Amino acid sequence: MKKSLFLFLFCCCVFSSCKVYRFFVRNFANITDYKFFTEHSLNHSSKPFHFFYSNKLNAPGNLKIKSFDSDSSTLDAVLEQSPSVAFLIIRRDTILYEKYWDKYTDSSWVASFSMAKSFTSALIGIAIHEGFIKSVDEPITNYIPEIKDTAFKKVTIKHLLQMTSGIKFTERYYNPFSDAAKFYYGTNLRKAIEYMKIEYEPGTKFEYKSGNPQLLGLIIERATKKTVTEYL
């Protein structure tokens, strides 16, 4: 028993920096994963935008909709059975529906995951407006020269924004050796980018791949001379 415990503790110390080790210990991606990652504080605006609230807030909850396990049900009932902890419906600048579950509230901390893609694309537009980037039609190798002698020279910023870059990227979080897991659990994303490959001709096919915003983030960093958090 003592030998087994010693071996386990030894492996924890030796492999704690290993992506595969972190994959199994943290037990797949979760909204509480913000606790594990390095924190970069982002201060809110001194004049933040606030949504209006509908005078019939949460009325959509009574709408009849088709659910997975019955012919029809209300939105409230379907959401109650889902694993979601929050659900909002926003039209223009007004919140029409807002509910939380499992003790979560509007001020709870959660990992935002792919919400970052929208902010990243917005920052690209702002960087163009401010003159840090010339155009979305620029080849990405203008900002990432370490991959200039590869098929990436055909990839433009627009290709990344539209998920048509053709990069080879496995979007599977349940495989500890996938590209998604490599970037999610890895500690040197800039180095990992150097090992990316092109799978098909850029601009010919849409495929949702999280490798695209990784490259966009590096472009923002190189163009503005600031981290993504600092620039935002």
For residues 124-130, give the mean pLDDT: 98
Average pLDDT value for the chain: 84
Note the pTM of the prediction, 2 decimals: 0.77
Check if the beta carbon of residue 77 is closer than 8 Å to that of residue 67: yes
Q: Where are the domains of the chain?
A: 52-100, 115-231
Fold annotation for 115-231: Methane Monooxygenase Hydroxylase; Chain G, domain 1 (1.20.58)
Residues 71-91 pLDDT 10s: 778 999 989 988 899 999 999
> Which range, of 109-118, 170-179, 207-216, averages the lowest pLDDT?
170-179
CA 128 to chain centre: 22
Q: Pick the most confident of 14-23, 176-185, 203-212.
A: 203-212
Q: Which amino acid is at 54?
A: S
Q: For residue 6, what are the CA distances in angstroms to 2, 10, 20, 200?
A: 6, 6, 20, 48
Pairing of strands 73-74, 86-91: unpaired
For residues 47-59, give the mean pLDDT: 95
CA 140 to chain centre: 20
Residue 120 CA to residue 74 CA, distance in Å, equals 35
